[in-house]
């Protein structure tokens, strides 16, 4: 054997995923402790004790898993080093074997001088070691405990609590779990990649990987339980309740199928598989309570039509009862409530306008849809995604990722740009159907944060999950092509995301980019083709590139990137600003403005898979 089955890239991906999970788990354990302390003063009786005990188990198990993930990362780093030593040993032995074969030929020739030379060089060139260098077996073992949520009927007495305080805890707990879930997904994906391409490494134990799912399931069960306890106290009008009455709360849970589907940390493929086993009708999704609709709306891997129903239900509830949804979604502090109200009001208006614009999209009635495919919270910001076109059936699917200072309050502008792209693409190829998603699924950076890759790294896991969900939700009828296009800092986020996705996209287009991540080459991105454009009239992109020096690179100078023009061309106009889109009444053009050269080329890539040359 002259090589070993060990892929350095897969090892690096596992190290990154395990380190990310370890850091997040430690952060969540500390945050949960603070949240528990905010509940305890108003929670009394046997159920307060159960709550404290369950929270202690959660904290301890979370910290244990954080340590196991850290240890796994360190072990993989050591194994990678061992692999380099073994590769070198094998190469040295192979080189020696080749030299020895030459010497043997000289000895067999019968010529005295070559034979003598072969003897001398053989003495000076001894055989390298035949003993294989073996890696340490990997062991990642953990077993989170189940948590008791019932007094068992024998405690007697009563318990009391403030239902509002309990609901605040539930919202914060679920928000934390949704954040941790992306790290769990990345660990599971990275572990699968490592085990399939690094069989040289023996695996002693891998229970910690499934233990992450167990921990998330226990956390979700705790949230459902405490939510039920809060509801019981609210219905009783406050005060105290018999513990025997509260014992029934632990038994009043969602159906097993729905519980499985809503478990945080499922990969999009796992979500799609769970949903396929127990699909819901439109009316069943519409009838889910707001807390369950919120979780359902944010499951990557579900059909877009179902996510749309749930997301609209969440939005309607947020507009009607903003204080309750602010709490349910895990936001905290009264200062942010007014901003939350503005965001959901603006999003409601954007959805209404998207519905109106959808009526004029090319194609038949089935294509002329607007879909709200997610409404949630990321890094303290309201996030959402709106598709113009039917994501479940469109032959060509495009996801547009915005850059600096983008937020759901500006969704209407992004949707107008999406409408321009659908029209232009349909003009290039009228035989296909199109869906363009305006994805505002991460807390984008403000100007002071653009130099840092932190927002891109944080948003990348969310975007990767969304992109994989598009594939997995349509396993039986995949789109002919999937394009992801990204403006400004969105290209940094997208390049990070394309290192994490399990499915390749057909095209990645960056426009007005502030740089792609330096973590990998273009060939390592999960994209078949990579394109870029930057207008000479774009004065901001160069500044963003300069600020990111050292962590990202201008895509227009990278090997493997196909660069196209944003300057004036036959029948098209030059891009004159950094903006994604500028209204048609302006004398300026953004990258997706109706008459811009860049829009025409992008629409050709979306419609035909390549620009016209």
Chain segment 174-223, per-residue pLDDT in tens: 999 999 999 999 999 999 999 999 999 999 999 999 999 999 999 999 99
Q: Is 556 within the bounds of a domain?
A: yes
Does one domain contain both 574 and 507? yes
| pLDDT reported for residue 116 | 87
CA–CA separation, 202 and 135 (whole Å)? 8
Does one domain contain both 522 and 412? yes
Does one domain contain both 370 and 505? yes
- Other CB atoms within 10 Å distance of the CB of residue 600: 21
Does one domain contain both 523 and 578? yes
- 3-class DSSP string for 424-460: HHHHHCCCCCEEEEEEECCCCCCHHHCCCCHHHHHHH
- Residue 441 Ramachandran class (φ > 0 left, ψ -120 to 50 alpha, else beta): alpha
Does one domain contain both 240 and 292? no
Does one domain contain both 209 and 295? no
| pLDDT reported for residue 252 | 56
Does one domain contain both 291 and 248? no
CATH code where residue 545 lies? 3.40.50.1820
Give yes or no for a contact between 459 and 380, defined as CB atoms under 8 angstroms apart: no
Question: Domain tally for the chain?
Answer: 2
Q: Is 548 within the bounds of a domain?
A: yes
Does one domain contain both 96 and 168? yes
Phi, psi of 533 (to 5 degrees): -145, 145
Q: Is 34 within the bounds of a domain?
A: yes
CA–CA separation, 331 and 338 (whole Å)? 12
Residues in the chain, pLDDT under 50: 154-155
Q: State which residues form the domain around 107.
A: 1-140+160-264
Does one domain contain both 252 and 112? yes
| Tokens 């000076």 found at | 124
Q: Is 151 within the bounds of a domain?
A: no
Does one domain contain both 135 and 181? yes
| pLDDT reported for residue 253 | 59
Does one domain contain both 511 and 604? yes
């Amino acid at each position: 054997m002259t090589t070993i089955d060990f892929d350095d890239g897969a090892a690096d991906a596992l190290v990154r995923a395990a380190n990310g999970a370890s850091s997040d788990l430690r952060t969540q354990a500390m945050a949960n402790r603070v949240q528990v302390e905010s509940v305890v003063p108003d929670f009394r009786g046997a159920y307060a004790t159960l709550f404290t005990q369950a929270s202690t188990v959660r904290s301890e198990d979370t910290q244990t898993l954080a340590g196991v993930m850290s240890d796994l990362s360190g072990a993989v780093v050591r194994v990678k080093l061992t692999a380099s030593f073994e590769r070198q040993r094998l190469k040295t032995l192979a080189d020696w074997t080749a030299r020895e074969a030459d010497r043997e030929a000289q000895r067999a020739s019968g010529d005295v001088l070559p034979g003598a030379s072969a003897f001398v060089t053989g003495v000076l060139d001894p055989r390298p070691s035949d003993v294989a260098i073996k890696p340490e077996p990997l062991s990642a073992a953990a077993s989170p405990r189940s948590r008791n949520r019932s007094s068992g009927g024998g405690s007697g007495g009563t318990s009391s609590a403030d239902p509002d305080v309990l609901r605040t805890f539930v919202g914060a707990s679920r928000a934390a779990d949704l954040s941790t879930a992306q790290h769990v997904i990345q660990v599971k994906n990275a572990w699968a990649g490592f085990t399939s391409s690094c069989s040289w490494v023996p695996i002693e134990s891998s229970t910690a990987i499934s233990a992450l799912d167990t921990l998330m399931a226990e956390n979700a069960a705790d949230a459902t339980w405490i939510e039920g306890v809060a509801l019981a106290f609210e219905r009783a009008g406050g005060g105290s309740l018999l513990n025997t009455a509260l014992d029934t709360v632990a038994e009043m849970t969602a159906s097993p199928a729905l519980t499985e589907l809503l478990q945080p940390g499922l990969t999009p493929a796992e979500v799609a598989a769970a949903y396929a086993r127990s699909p819901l009708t439109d009316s069943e999704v519409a009838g889910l309570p707001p807390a369950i609709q919120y979780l359902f709306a944010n499951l990557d891997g579900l059909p877009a039509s179902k996510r749309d129903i749930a997301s609209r239900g969440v939005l309607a509830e947020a507009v009607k009862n903003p204080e309750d949804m602010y709490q349910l979604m895990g936001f905290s502090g009264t200062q942010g409530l007014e901003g939350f109200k503005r965001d959901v009001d603006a999003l409601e208006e954007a959805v209404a306008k998207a519905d109106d614009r959808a009526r004029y999209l090319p194609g038949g009635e089935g294509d002329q849809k607007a879909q709200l495919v997610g409404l949630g919270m990321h890094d303290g910001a309201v996030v959402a995604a709106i598709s113009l076109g039917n994501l479940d059936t469109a032959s060509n699917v495009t996801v547009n990722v915005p850059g600096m200072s983008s937020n759901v309050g500006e969704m209407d502008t992004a949707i107008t740009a999406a409408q321009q792209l659908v029209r232009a693409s349909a003009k290039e190829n009228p035989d296909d159907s199109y869906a363009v998603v305006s994805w505002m699924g991460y807390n984008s950076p403000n100007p002071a944060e653009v130099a840092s890759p932190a927002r891109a790294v944080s948003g990348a896991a969310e975007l990767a999950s969304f992109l994989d969900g598009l594939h997995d939700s349509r396993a039986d009828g995949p789109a002919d092509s999937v394009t992801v296009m990204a403006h400004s800092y969105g290209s940094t986020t997208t390049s990070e995301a394309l290192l994490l996705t399990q499915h390749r996209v057909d095209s990645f287009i960056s426009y007005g980019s502030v740089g792609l991540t330096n973590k990998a080459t273009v060939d390592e991105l999960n994209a078949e083709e990579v394109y870029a454009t930057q207008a000479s009239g774009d004065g901001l992109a160069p500044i963003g590139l300069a600020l990111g020096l050292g962590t990202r690179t201008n895509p227009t100078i990278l090997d493997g990137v196909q660069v196209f023009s944003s300057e004036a061309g036959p029948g098209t106009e030059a891009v004159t600003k950094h903006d994604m889109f500028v209204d048609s009444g302006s004398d300026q053009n953004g990258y997706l403005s109706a008459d811009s050269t860049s829009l025409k080329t992008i629409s050709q890539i979306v419609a035909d898979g390549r620009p016209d040359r």
